[in-house]
Amino acid sequence: MSLASILTSRKPSDHANSALELPSLVSRALPNAPNGYTPQAGECPTTRPRIRSAAGLSGNETSWLKSRRSQTIDPLRDLLGRLNISGFDAEAYITNNAKNTTAIPNVAIAFSGGGYRAMLNGAGALKAFDSREANGTSSGHLGGLLQASTYVAGLSGGSWLVGSIFINNFTTINALQAAPSPGSEWEFENSILEGPAEGGLQILDSAQYFDNVYDAVDGKKDAGFNTSITDYWGRMLSFQLLNGSDGGVSYTWSSIALSDDFANGNTPMPLVVADGRAPGELLIPGNTTVYEFNPWEFGTFDPTTYGFVPLEYLGSNFSGGTLPDNEQCVRGFDNAGYIMGTSSSLFNQFLMQVNQSSIPDLAKKFINNILTDIGQDNNDIADYSPNPFYHYHNGTSKNAQSKRLTLVDGGEDLENIPLHPLIQPVRAVDVIFAIDSSADTDSHWPNGTSLVATYQRSLEDISNGTSFPAVPDQNSFVNLGLNTHPTFFGCDSSNTTSTTPLIVYLPNSPYVFHSNVSTFDPSYNTSERDNMILNGYAVATMGNATMDSTWPTCVGCAILQRSLERTQTKIPDVCTSCFQKFCWDGTVNSTQPAAYNPPYSIGAVDASSGSAGLRSSQGSFAAVFFGLFAAVLVTVW
């Protein structure tokens, strides 16, 4: 098939066809907080909520997995059947093992932090993995990987991506890009310090916008709850990310569990990561407690706290793992914007350090007012008081004696890719597609720091049985070019435990656009937004396999590897070749690298026009590639 036909034709399966009818953006049906942004106490359910041990998965997750794992079978069969694993009947393999889901590949996707850069680069990868997107299941593309996944995790900017997708009814990137009017979601031309453009979904002018944000947080404070700058940050984010009036003020993270699609196992499980940290503590210690938010619970597998609280009842006065009989159940604390803001609380520094001469007077007044209100101690944390883990595991938890629990950006411990919840042995994940949009180098590209941090943590006592494949040091990532193309880690499972997932590392790199923008850039025009998404799509697909024709096949091999070992099935020869090509072979080169300024892998799109024309020629191949890719953009964007 010619490149032109690959990029402009679509021959999806029946499964993909039915999915293509879904991508519309409608207001969420479950704005279920009882009193907007203000948490509210009320009657408890007959079975009072309590903290459960992290010794296993929750009953809710265990039950949900039965549905979800079976729902991944058809997408896996369809995806693997399209990825051309020669000499191996992947569709028959999935069919023959369909009644034993423990034999079927268990897939996860992780989106790193890095502000809007991470959200938009990650969006490109997610778009590439979604069979509902136009041409997603054509040759060279990877559509269906999202539908075949069990878990999707986000951190900081990655949490904005995950939250925006799931809180907006598991919508598509295409739908978010095609938002119908100014001032609606994913309109980033106006920064959050300006507010949404007038006339859109929110129908607010700047003064009303700031009043709305301030009043919402003030209501929470008046109700007796501690507030921090993250409350304001999360409320402002919601106006950009959520399809609901007043920034989806009543949307909660726990409402995801109530949506029919999720409850029936039709979508993956969204996970968001944050770190525990005391106010004013300047350095995250190597044994920091890593917390996760899932649709049912908030808590940690770390041996410090080692427990989970029902997410819906955050804000209730738990003590010693139970809710005393004289305490009511609080609901509405788990505001979706607040949780996304918690995972990205590093951006609080943006509010405090922004060049105030360059922002509107109203924004200056707003920032000065909130900084005065919250005080110095609350300027860089998210406050989860009352601490649900008060007097829980007193012997191991450093927070057990405090009625206050404070969290920060999940990347402050350098683990900027949210791998922690995905490498827990009880989740038995086989392969993780790790999208790294970190700004590790001086030029704001990744250099493997996050993988190094996760590997080093896996060697510590706090690892709690988790296992992670060995990775080289950051200098080796750059010197060996491992941060310029996909790399597999953990291919040789004989060097790991049986629960170590294979990591497919997908670092942000300039395929078609310099998406290495600053983490703190506050606004982007539509062309910049779309070109960053396009670059992320190209990174995930290696330019729809134009950079390496074997890439789709090798993705299939990565998905299958652990499953084939479990079922004692011979690894296909084509997969052996893939592992020789993409697996890290243990080589290191730790010498100090030169300044890292990578060239385009393919060629540059024109950021000013948003067109697919080349700004600088990279040869006839690049010109042909982008001339043809323009046809896709007409359909997709």
Mean pLDDT of 113-141: 95
Mean pLDDT of 264-285: 86
596 confidence band (pLDDT: 50, 70, 90): very high
Q: Which of 402, 419, 422 is nearest to 410 (CA)?
A: 419
Name the amino acid, one letter, at 47: T
pLDDT digits (tens, 9 = 90+) for 606-615: 655 444 332 3
Domain segments of the chain as ranges: 3-636
pLDDT digits (tens, 9 = 90+) for 71-100: 999 999 999 999 999 999 999 999 999 999
| Structure-derived torsion over alpha carbons of residues 528, 533, 609, 443, reported in degrees to the nearest 10 | 50
For position 604, what pLDDT does the model report?
A: 84
Q: Which of 231, 236, 211, 212 is nearest to 221 (CA)?
A: 231
The first and second tokens of residue 163, run together, are: 């939250």
487 confidence band (pLDDT: 50, 70, 90): very high
Mean pLDDT of 338-358: 70
521 confidence band (pLDDT: 50, 70, 90): confident
pLDDT digits (tens, 9 = 90+) for 181-227: 554 679 898 888 877 776 555 556 778 888 899 999 999 999 999 99
Q: Domain spanning 3-636: which superfamily?
A: Cytosolic phospholipase A2 catalytic domain (3.40.1090.10)
Question: Whole-angstrom Cα distance, residue 368 to residue 611?
Answer: 41
Full DSSP string of 372-418: HHH-GGGSS-EE--S-TTTTSSTTT-TTTT-S--EEEETTTTS--S-
Q: Tell the residue number behind the tokens 């001086």, with chain if given.
A: 442
Mean pLDDT of 347-356: 55
Q: Is the pLDDT of residue 354 over 90?
A: no
Lowest-pLDDT range of 8-12, 63-67, 210-214: 8-12
The first and second tokens of residue 457, run together, are: 């943590």
Mean pLDDT of 267-284: 85
For position 198, what pLDDT does the model report?
A: 63
Q: Is the pLDDT of residue 4 over 60?
A: no
Q: Which of 602, 599, 597 is nearest to 619 (CA)?
A: 602
For position 376, what pLDDT does the model report?
A: 54
For position 130, what pLDDT does the model report?
A: 98
Across the chain, what does the average pLDDT equal?
A: 86
Cα–Cα distances in Å, from 368 out to 8, 335, 342?
52, 24, 21
Full DSSP string of 79-113: HHHHS--TT--HHHHHHHTTT-GGGS--EEEEE--
Full DSSP string of 5-53: HHHH-----HHHHHHTT-------S----TTTTS-EEEPPPSS--B-EE
Strand ranges (E), 470-623:
487-489, 502-507
Alpha helices (runs of H) in 83-205, residue ranges in sequence order: 90-96, 115-129, 157-167, 173-177
Q: Is the pLDDT of residue 621 over 50?
A: no
493 sits in which H/E element: none
- Across 52-66, 208-222, 377-391, the highest mean pLDDT is recorded for 52-66
Mean pLDDT of 428-452: 97
What residues have CB less than 8 Å from 144, skipping those under 6 apart?
A: 16, 75, 78, 79, 82, 129, 131, 136, 137
Helices 157-167, 229-241: crossing angle, 10 deg rounding: 50
Name the amino acid, one letter, at 310: P
% of the chain beyond a pLDDT of 70: 82
For position 607, what pLDDT does the model report?
A: 58
Q: Is the pLDDT of residue 458 over 80?
A: yes
pLDDT digits (tens, 9 = 90+) for 285-304: 677 899 999 999 999 999 99
Q: What is the DSSP letter of 460?
A: S
For position 370, what pLDDT does the model report?
A: 63
Lowest-pLDDT range of 23-37, 472-486, 546-560: 23-37
Lowest-pLDDT range of 311-315, 425-429, 552-556, 602-606: 602-606
Lowest-pLDDT range of 471-480, 552-561, 608-617: 608-617
| Contact of 464 with 525, CB cutoff 8 Å | no
Q: What is the DSSP letter of 296?
A: S
Q: Which of 155, 158, 148 is nearest to 117 (CA)?
A: 158
| Angle (nearest 5°) at CA 289 between 288 and 294 | 145
- Across 13-22, 28-37, 559-568, the highest mean pLDDT is recorded for 559-568
% of the chain beyond a pLDDT of 90: 70
